Amino acid sequence: MGRALVLSALLVAAGCGGSDAGGGDDATDDGADTSGDETVQAAEVEPEPEPEPEPEPEPVAGPAQITVSNTVGNADGGGTVQVLDQSGEVVAEGESGRTFSITSGTYRVRGTITDDSILVDTPTHENDGMVTVPPGETVEARVQFPVSRIRIEVRRGSRTLPRWRLQISRQGREGGDTITLEPSSTHIPITPGRYAGTLNTGGQQIEVGGLIFQGGATMTVPININ
């Protein structure tokens, strides 16, 4: 009976030791370092937008001047000129070559040839571009007119007719004025382009078309009739 009690005590002691060993393993597992398994994602940072450029301040308007001249070929064309604002309103006008006092800004310029010995069709022309006039300055602007110098010869067969009258207008020009040409020994200055009209000679009226006057050229243009 005493030996049985001793054996039971030994078994109990052995069981307790196994239980402690197992408990130690569980504690080790619970305290394991798992930092290596974790993934840390960096937050995306959006770039700061670039600041918008500040608009340049508009120049302060002030008194200014502009000189406007008509030029035919490389020579003074005389006539009259106009200065127009961006809406098309005339702000100044007068003779070619005159200097006008205006408010600084952006303008258009227009000219008219009034002497038919300079251009027989006495045209009006407006430059395509704009003219900027800064405050306190005088700007020069030229209205350029192209020119062709022509002499018409009316022929019947091999004979040149001494008397005729040709009335023509430039095609593609709305409301173009009619120009009257007669026999001349000199070349007449005219705006280049394509012309058509009516020839009167010997009681006949003949429609004439396809007359082409080239810019910068001096030319004799024949018209052959039956």
User: Quick check: is 217 in a domain?
Assistant: yes
- Which segments of the chain does DSSP mark as H helices, in order? 2-30
User: Quick check: is 9 in a domain?
Assistant: no
- In this structure, the answer to whether residues 137 and 180 fall within a common structural domain is no
- In this structure, the answer to whether residues 67 and 141 fall within a common structural domain is yes
User: Quick check: is 20 in a domain?
Assistant: no
Q: Which residues of 67-78 are buried (b: 16+ CB within 10 A; e: fewer)?
A: ebbbebbeeebb
Residue whose structure tokens are 């004799």: 220
- In this structure, the answer to whether residues 207 and 159 fall within a common structural domain is yes
pTM above 0.95, yes or no: no
- In this structure, the answer to whether residues 69 and 140 fall within a common structural domain is yes
Q: Are 118 and 86 in contact (CB under 8 A)?
A: no
- In this structure, the answer to whether residues 67 and 139 fall within a common structural domain is yes
User: Quick check: is 38 in a domain?
Assistant: no
Residue where a domain stops, chosen among 145, 174, 208: 145
Residue 155's domain spans which residues?
148-225
The CATH number assigned to the domain holding 190 equals 2.60.40.1120
Q: What is the pLDDT of residue 38?
A: 53
- In this structure, the answer to whether residues 115 and 92 fall within a common structural domain is yes
Residue where a domain stops, chosen among 145, 171, 191: 145
User: Quick check: is 39 in a domain?
Assistant: no
Mean of per-residue pLDDT scores for the chain = 84
- In this structure, the answer to whether residues 139 and 164 fall within a common structural domain is no
CA gap 177, 195 in Å, rounded: 12
The CATH number assigned to the domain holding 90 equals 2.60.40.10
Region 28-34: what's the mean pLDDT? 49
- In this structure, the answer to whether residues 171 and 138 fall within a common structural domain is no
Region 183-189: what's the mean pLDDT? 96
- In this structure, the answer to whether residues 210 and 197 fall within a common structural domain is yes
User: Quick check: is 40 in a domain?
Assistant: no
Q: Is the pLDDT of residue 214 over 70?
A: yes
CA gap 137, 109 in Å, rounded: 17
Q: Is the pLDDT of residue 1 over 80?
A: no
Q: 117, 115, 175, 123: which is closest to 149 by C-alpha?
A: 117
pLDDT bucket at 47, cuts 50 / 70 / 90 = confident
Cross-strand partners of 124: 112
Q: Is the pLDDT of residue 33 over 80?
A: no
Report pLDDT digits (tens) over 147-156.
999 999 999 9
Residue where a domain stops, chosen among 114, 145, 176: 145
Q: Is the pLDDT of residue 36 over 80?
A: no
- Which segments of 166-223 does DSSP mark as H helices, in order? none
User: Quick check: is 69 in a domain?
Assistant: yes
User: Quick check: is 104 in a domain?
Assistant: yes
Q: Are strands 131-133 and 105-112 parallel, antiparallel or unpaired?
A: antiparallel
- In this structure, the answer to whether residues 71 and 139 fall within a common structural domain is yes
Number of domains in the chain: 2
Percent over 70 (pLDDT), the chain: 77
Gyration radius (Cα) of the chain, Å: 49
